[in-house]
Structure 1
Amino acid sequence: MSGYPFGTVLRRGLLAGLAAGVAAAAAALLIVEPRIESALVVEEGRATPGGGGHGHEEELVSRGVQILGGLVATVAVAVCLAVIVAVVFGATRHLLPGRDDFRRVGLLAGLGFVVVALLPAIRFPANPPGVGDPDTVNQRTGQYLSFIVAAAAVTWLALLVHRRLAAWSRPTPYRAVAATVVAVVGYTLLLTLWPATAVEVPGDVPAALLWEFRLASLAQLATMWTVLGVVFGLLLTPARADHRRPITADVA
């Protein structure tokens, strides 16, 4: 069967995911971890006799093991996301505007960042240790995941609008504007109307620390999606001489 084997797309996506995971882990270690350490100092202050707590309790898992586990989990998450991106790219390549696969993958990674990272960060901002009610974790997780699904649906609708206008031979600027309007309106409605359980921030958590942690967390995700898009696009670029040929399933 002629065409571009999907197995090759998946393997190169995995390599890109590994690179993205390493980059995101480095970002976590350099810019996120210092904010977590500061938050832990605040949290430990509550547990000291002078802080109104019940004294220091021995950690079941050392801080070093926690950091290592977090870095490994970051790489694993990036690889899993890369698999999803590769599958979505193979299924929706015909919907993605762009003259070559590098631009198409870049657009897909950019949309992934918006849907999975940026929009949720606006509606459900990340919080450092010591912030948030443990009793509402399940509720907030459900709201968070359902929001991502809804944002993905809006993005899909915008791509369909772009595709339909292309079938009607509308010029590229009209297609781009129409798809952008659909996406922006849909995202705005989600950000405005989607339920989000309020998180109470303790008074001993400095506002600067809170915002630095949120920005650092978003920067880590931006690093992951940027590296994923760039590396995946570069890995696909030399493998296709004819960008019009379809991606096909592998045949034994």
Structure 2
Amino acid sequence: MSTYPFGAVLGRSLLAGTAAGVAGALAALLIVEPQIESALVVEEARAATGTAGHSHDEELVGRAMQVFGGLVATVAVALCLALIVAVVFAATRHLLPGRDDFRRVGLLAGLGFVVVALLPAIHFPANPPGVGDPDTVNQRTGQYLSFIIAAAAVTWLALLAHRRLAGWARPAPYRTVVAAALAVVGYALLLALWPASGVDVPADIPAALLWEFRLASLAQLAAMWTVLGVVFGLLLTPARTGDRRATLADVA
């Protein structure tokens, strides 16, 4: 049975990443930018009253260019994620449950959202402009990235457990429940034990603005991962019923 070469799979992942980047950019423009604009208004008012704690220098890059750069960066991030998903899919396809590659890619994209977006959003929630100490950026970035790596390791172990239970004298749903329970317990331990970078929220930042910004940021990531999973899965699905081509070269 012939297979798609791995290069073709990477090409399909880039197409899916482009679609995901466009979706993420639209979400950023429509739901995240309004929250950023509201936070900037608070920052400007803080600077005008002299309570900013630092001099308010003139911006080197205009707001319009900042927005455009952010949209371009969103597409670039989506493309990078798509390449990572393609490589991980190639390496873990034999571990992913599912009757076809569309379901396997959907599961992988869902796990990617949980590991890269949802869990970090719970432990290290996003903050709008005007919140956070610039002097602790490196420390917070290290904690954030190491947390994602640990969550990915938990996910990998859960998938391995699901595969190792293949010989268990129980129907497949039992294996799925056990693997999911192991993942949930592992995630819960990470959330409970991993050091969190505490960020003091200034009193002039409305609680509603903080909450809406965090929800909007998470919704943007959800849009990216959803489009990435759906489009990539469709591109790996044979166009005709009965097409016997496999959707991935055996590179694992």
Specify the TM-score bucket, using the shorter chain as the normaliser.
Answer: over 0.9
- Secondary structure, aligned partner of 1:238: coil
> Aligned Cα RMSD in Å?
1.8
Task: Name the stretch that deviates more: 1-10 or 52-61.
Answer: 52-61
- Distance in 1 (CA, whole Å) between partners of 2:74 and 2:175 is 36
Scaled by the length of structure 1, what TM-score is found?
A: 0.93
**What is the percent sequence identity of the aligned residues?**
79
- Give, as a single letter, the amino acid of the residue that structure 2 aligns with 1:84: I
- Give, as a single letter, the amino acid of the residue that structure 2 aligns with 1:154: V
Q: Which residue of 2 aligns with 1:67?
A: 67
Q: Which residue of 2 aligns with 1:80?
A: 80
Post-superposition shift, 1:56?
Answer: 5.4
- Say if 2:250 is the partner of 1:248: yes
Query: CA offsets, 1:37-69, max 9 Å, x none?
Result: 000000111111x35457753211000000000
Q: Which residue of 2 aligns with 1:119?
A: 119
- Say if 2:120 is the partner of 1:135: no
- Give, as a single letter, the amino acid of the residue that structure 2 aligns with 1:45: A
- Distance in 2 (CA, whole Å) between partners of 1:246 and 1:56 is 54
Q: Which residue of 2 aligns with 1:17?
A: 17
- Secondary structure, aligned partner of 1:138: helix
- Distance in 2 (CA, whole Å) between partners of 1:60 and 1:210 is 26
Judge conservation of contact 1:4–1:248 (CA < 8 Å) in 2.
no
Post-superposition shift, 1:228?
Answer: 0.1
Query: CA offsets, 1:167-226, max 9 Å, x none?
Result: 445421111111011000000000000001210000000000000000000000000000
- Secondary structure, aligned partner of 1:3: coil
Query: CA offsets, 1:86-125, max 9 Å, x none?
Result: 0011111110000000000000000000000000000000
- Give, as a single letter, the amino acid of the residue that structure 2 aligns with 1:223: A
Q: Which residue of 2 aligns with 1:94?
A: 94
- Secondary structure, aligned partner of 2:113: helix
- Distance in 1 (CA, whole Å) between partners of 2:12 and 2:157 is 28
- Distance in 1 (CA, whole Å) between partners of 2:134 and 2:150 is 25
Indicate how the Cα distance of structure 1 residues 26 and 3 shifts in structure 2: closer, same or farther if over 3 A, else same.
same
Scaled by the length of structure 2, what TM-score is found?
A: 0.93
Q: Which residue of 1 aligns with 2:237?
A: 237
- Secondary structure, aligned partner of 1:247: coil
- Say if 2:160 is the partner of 1:187: no
- Say if 2:148 is the partner of 1:148: yes
- Give, as a single letter, the amino acid of the residue that structure 2 aligns with 1:248: D
Structure 2 residue ranges without an equivalent (≥5): none
Indicate how the Cα distance of structure 1 residues 245 and 230 shifts in structure 2: closer, same or farther if over 3 A, else same.
closer
Indicate how the Cα distance of structure 1 residues 164 and 126 shifts in structure 2: closer, same or farther if over 3 A, else same.
same
- Distance in 2 (CA, whole Å) between partners of 1:245 and 1:224 is 23
Q: Which residue of 1 aligns with 2:159?
A: 159
Q: Which residue of 2 aligns with 1:31?
A: 31
Judge conservation of contact 2:16–2:231 (CA < 8 Å) in 1.
yes
Count of residues paired in the alignment: 248
- Give, as a single letter, the amino acid of the residue that structure 2 aligns with 1:96: L
- Say if 2:219 is the partner of 1:219: yes
